[in-house]
Amino acid sequence: MITFLICLGLLIASYFTYARYLERRFEMDPAAEVPSETLRDGVDYLPLPVWKTFLIQLLNIAGLGPIFGALLGAMYGPVAFVWITVGSIFIGALQDYASGMISLKEGGLSFPEIVGKYMGMTVRQVMRAFTLFLMILVGAVFMVGPAGILEGFTGLTQSVWVWIILVYYVLATLLPIDKIIGRFYPVFGAALFIMAFGILGVLIFGPYRIPDLSASSFGNFTANPAGLPIVPTLFITIACGAVSGFHATQSPMMARCITNQRQGRPVFFGAMISEGVIALIWAAIGMAFWNGTEGLSAALAEHGNNAAWAVDIITNTTLGKAGAFLALLGVVAAPITSGDTAFRCARLIAADFLHMEQKQLRKRLYISVPIFLVGVAITLMPFDVIWKYFAWANQVLAAICLWTVTVYLGVRRQRWIIAFLPAAFMTFIVSFYIFIAEEGLHLPYYTGLAVGTALTAAIVGVMAWYLRSVRRGRIAI
């Protein structure tokens, strides 16, 4: 339990230490005007209380990631604690805070427009298409997943639930942010916390033993170590609990609702650290509940690596009927609340590059109808195929965001190295992964390592040249 408690303490401490350091690096100004007032439209640009923006941001970024991803990542052993902690603080929270604060300072710009401003027009056009498609993909994934779970609890088929969820998504995407999202998300966010802290109490005061990181436990305890190597697979498996490119697309949505730049720390950094805490708790209970990582791997393998089954067993056993209700709420409401904001974000991204204001419902419909038609078409694809490509594309987005943050800091003569190193690391992970993964080129491990390293070195070299050129004024921003 010592490793777990140290990691938990580091996550909490980072909010009072590293987050304040980032406030200085990003020149947080509590006296500056914010988009929720200067661009207020009553739909997307709308001031909300900080406690609401925090809980909405948490639900926006959470989905099933800090629960399902953490449980699957826990099969690797206590090394998962290290990745959740280090990733959440120095990569995930940095990315989320940076993307939110840059948007806040740039009039609430959406993620592709921020990338385009600092990385050039070509990258902007690519990112518009890539991010828009990824948002629709996320929305589709989070229609199919919850619909499948609800089918098991009701007499309705999955396809019927997909249409019911779709109707909700349409309303949440079109209506002003305070009508549905602002009213219901805080409730779901509170439920996510209650479930996590209930499990934390069981871990600390119950009969469970959390494995510690040691020489003997520092290894790969999955059922297929050769097919699921720690590097790079662990860093793709645990995404939302450590770093997720999807988060960078969500932060600008709350940047349009924040009422003071000072709120960036609790809303952007705080929500990511909270998600890291939730992921740490679920990774710990996954290892402890089945008496170690070997037991967890065996149990999940027996049930087709179905994390939803594991959540149901854990909560029913440890928290009783209340836990079962919270588990259902978590595995259904959490992804739905990420899916609806993904579609809303897709609308905002399209509106930004089309320069179409969104105050009128008619104009929101012009953009939303094609987006939902594409989303429905994606739901007809096999779910496991969609999810595999989403997981990789999600981390590619994180790498791109971190390179953008590097340039942003470099232009302002701030310490860009704090983003450069995470950007290089995530570039290596996604490059290495796509070369060896089954859904990628499926090269031998060491061949993929060599090619991935070479590609990463080339990208790092290009980005170093670009950053130097921007700083010296040879390339204009």
pLDDT band at 385 (very low <50, low <70, confident <90, very high): low
Does position 263 have pLDDT exceeding 80, yes or no?
yes
CA dihedral 440, 445, 448, 450 (to 10 degrees): 170
Q: What separation in angstroms does the CA of 311 have from each of 61, 106, 206, 338?
A: 19, 41, 17, 19
Place of tokens 């770093």: 243
CA distance 2 to 107: 44
Does position 334 have pLDDT exceeding 90, yes or no?
no
pLDDT confidence of residue 146 = 83
List pLDDT tens digits, range 165-211.
999 999 999 999 989 988 888 888 888 888 888 999 999 998 999 99
List pLDDT tens digits, range 97-120.
999 999 999 999 999 999 999 998
CA distance 201 to 209: 13
Does position 381 have pLDDT exceeding 80, yes or no?
no
Q: What separation in angstroms does the CA of 270 have from each of 15, 16, 60, 306, 378?
A: 7, 10, 13, 30, 33
Burial class of residue 425 (count of CB atoms within 10 Å of its CB; 0-12, 13-18, 19+): middle
Does position 157 have pLDDT exceeding 70, yes or no?
yes
CA distance 216 to 132: 45
Does position 152 have pLDDT exceeding 80, yes or no?
no
Q: Over the chain, what HEC string results?
A: CHHHHHHHHHHHHHHHCHHHHHHHHCCCCCCCCCHHHHCCCCCCCCCCCHHHHHHHHHHHHHCCHHHHHHHHHHHHCCHHHHHHHHHHHHHHHHHHHHHHHHHHHCCCCCHHHHHHHHHCHHHHHHHHHHHHHHHHHHHHHHHHHHHHHHHHHCCCCHHHHHHHHHHHHHHHHHCCCCCCHHHHHHHHHHHHHHHHHHHHHHHHHCCCCCCCCCCCCCCCCCCCCCCCCHHHHHHHHCCCCCCCHHHHHHHHHHHCCCCCHHHHHHHHHHHHHHHHHHHHHHHHHHHHHCCCHHHHHHHHHHCCCCHHHHHHHHHHHHHHHHHHHHHHHHHHHHHHHHHHHHHHHHHHHHHHHHCCCCCCHHHHHHHHHHHHHHHHHHCCCCHHHHHHHHHHHHHHHHHHHHHHHHHHHHHCCCCCHHHHHHHHHHHHHHHHHHHHCCCCCCCCHHHHHHHHHHHHHHHHHHHHHHHHHHHCCCCCC
Q: Are 275 and 241 in contact (CB under 8 A)?
A: yes
Place of tokens 């199919």: 144
Chain-centre distance for alpha carbon 461: 27
pLDDT confidence of residue 431 = 97
**Close Cβ partners of 17 (under 8 Å, ≥ 6 residues apart):** none
pLDDT band at 89 (very low <50, low <70, confident <90, very high): very high
**Close Cβ partners of 389 (under 8 Å, ≥ 6 residues apart):** 137, 439
Q: Are 330 and 338 in contact (CB under 8 A)?
A: no
Q: Which CATH superfamily is domain 2-390 in?
A: Amino acid/polyamine transporter I (1.20.1740.10)
Does position 372 have pLDDT exceeding 90, yes or no?
yes
Place of tokens 């650290």: 273
pLDDT confidence of residue 323 = 73
% of the chain beyond a pLDDT of 90: 63
pLDDT confidence of residue 383 = 61
List pLDDT tens digits, range 434-448.
999 988 899 999 999
Question: What are the structural domain ranges in the chain?
Answer: 2-390
Which pTM value belongs to this model? 0.92
**Close Cβ partners of 10 (under 8 Å, ≥ 6 residues apart):** 85, 89
What's the whole-number average pLDDT of the chain? 91
List pLDDT tens digits, range 389-418.
778 888 999 999 999 999 999 999 999 999
Residues 117-146, mean pLDDT to the nearest whole number: 88
pLDDT band at 387 (very low <50, low <70, confident <90, very high): low
Does position 326 have pLDDT exceeding 80, yes or no?
no
Place of tokens 């995530």: 426
